[in-house]
Structure 1
């Protein structure tokens, strides 16, 4: 029998599924950990009607990860979702955990090894766990996650591999597809790929990496992306959240 949290608690997953064009702000505690900076991001994110905070990074230490989530939870009611880079990045203060399997790579450590290391702790957190197929797409630069995981992203122009990987992920029981071009990507995931995936699968899709313009957000929403993740752009220009607010108001 599944534990109660896996049978009953699907609040965040249902929210993901409820509509397209939702916005998540990605916070990397290694880059953004000072209270004053987090307060500013939270205030502008609330004004912009952002839907989620995702927290994680490729090399974040447990203490910084947990402190960042604790601060966010003290400042906002916007859901905080763990987007972990390794098995240490866990906190019982978060609202949900994206339980990531890196399906685009062939490194067993990120397919199952990290999960085995953290399994008991995840079970004891008693929070919502969302099985997620994590699929890296080439964003024009070597991303931190590709380097740390020692895997190669799927070539940007090879949609058939990406589509088959996504289908395999759903058939294996994942509930969410997360397509990521990586932190600091030059190019975001093509909206045409998401359109093709949606033609074959009725699955919740999240897209991140290289999202820097409202035009990209609009294109991704148009093809049915449920959650669009913005990270580096906000680190560089926090006032982009004002543009997001205007966009959400008019759509």
Structure 2
């Protein structure tokens, strides 16, 4: 069998790369897995012209992941991108898989171990595989992903290490760099870090964790962030999607 990702289209990657300031809503199947909850989110996300749903979590079971992915796929045609917390979080109901390598830590399990465990399953998936350098940045509190992966985030004020890690990940062949301050972070990733990355690299950038305001979205967009991921804020206040709709309307007008 030939590796499937060598033959697949680059539709989702090209969309990621097409512009800055795109919005992804992160769905954690451990928190949101019923038709009723998902339907409300989907309806408001569609109204807000959300660009993607990302799906995944650090402690999600395979059954919850597959159930939630299947429900989402049945409810919307907004692209569905897997943001996996471990090797079990895979589904053909999605459109793409961010194939994450956790480069900010030094735990081999998340550099290559999880990938080996899922290799045979991944190459049989009928979806787009996008190699992604995953970099944790300290967001002011210990995140679940840092705890589960037993890795230490890069200090928020040490942009040079974060920048060098992004460069190294790109040189290794990763097509996307994902900076994450972690779920429920007190502070999002500093926009100035993205500005430095964009000055040195032609790469797709995704930023998540701790984004809670339109002002933060604007700041990240202004420095060239391709996709901004919103998670906890929408779980706490789903009407934030209305603010996003107003913001996107102004940007497009």
Q: Which residue of 2 aligns with 1:124?
A: 124
1:86-105 deviation digits (Å, cap 9, x = unpaired) = 00000011000000000000
1:43 aligns with 2:38: no
TM-score (norm 1): 0.99
Contact 1:214 1:244 in 2 (8 A): yes
> What is the aligned length?
251
Q: How do residues 3-152 of structure 1 correspond to structure 2 at under 5 angstroms?
A: 3-152=3-152
Residues 8, 127 of structure 2: 8 Å contact kept: no
Once the two structures are superposed, what CA deviation does each residue of 1:179-232 show, in whole Å capped at 9, x if it has no partner? 000000000000000000000001000000000000000000000000000000
| Alignment gaps of 5+ in structure 2 | none
CA distance in 2, matches of 1:94, 1:243: 27
- What SS does the corresponding residue of 2:124 show, helix, strand or coil? helix
Counterpart position of 1:203: 203
| Residue 8 (structure 1) shift | 3.6
TM-score (norm 2): 0.98
Equivalents in 2 of 1:136, 1:165: separation in Å?
10
Secondary structure of 1:18's match?
Answer: coil
Q: Distance in 1 between matches of 2:119 and 2:92?
A: 14
Distance 1:221 1:94 in 2: 26
Q: Distance in 1 between matches of 2:5 and 2:145?
A: 29
The answer (yes or no) to whether the contact 1:101–1:133 under 8 Å persists in 2 is yes
CA drift of 1:3 comes to 2.9
Q: Which residue of 2 aligns with 1:182?
A: 182
Residue 110 to residue 4, structure 1, CA distance change in 2 (3 Å): closer
RMSD over aligned CA atoms reads 1.0
User: What SS class does the counterpart of residue 125 from structure 1 fall into?
Assistant: coil
C-alpha distance in structure 1 between counterparts of 2:115 and 2:162, whole Å: 23
Distance (Å, rounded) in 2 between the aligned partners of 1:3 and 1:163: 31
Larger mean Cα displacement after TM superposition, 6-15 or 146-155: 6-15
Q: Is the 8 A contact 1:96 1:128 kept in 2?
A: yes
Residue 60 of structure 2 contacts residue 85 of structure 2 at CA under 8 Å; is this kept in 1? yes
SS at match of 2:72: helix
Look up the match of 1:226.
Answer: 226
- Whether contact under 8 Å (1:6, 1:128) holds in the other structure is no
Deviation at 1:34? 1.5
CA distance in 2, matches of 1:4, 1:108: 25
How many angstroms does 1:111 deviate by?
0.1
Q: Is the 8 A contact 2:21 2:224 kept in 1?
A: yes
Structure 1 residues not aligned, in runs of 5+ = none
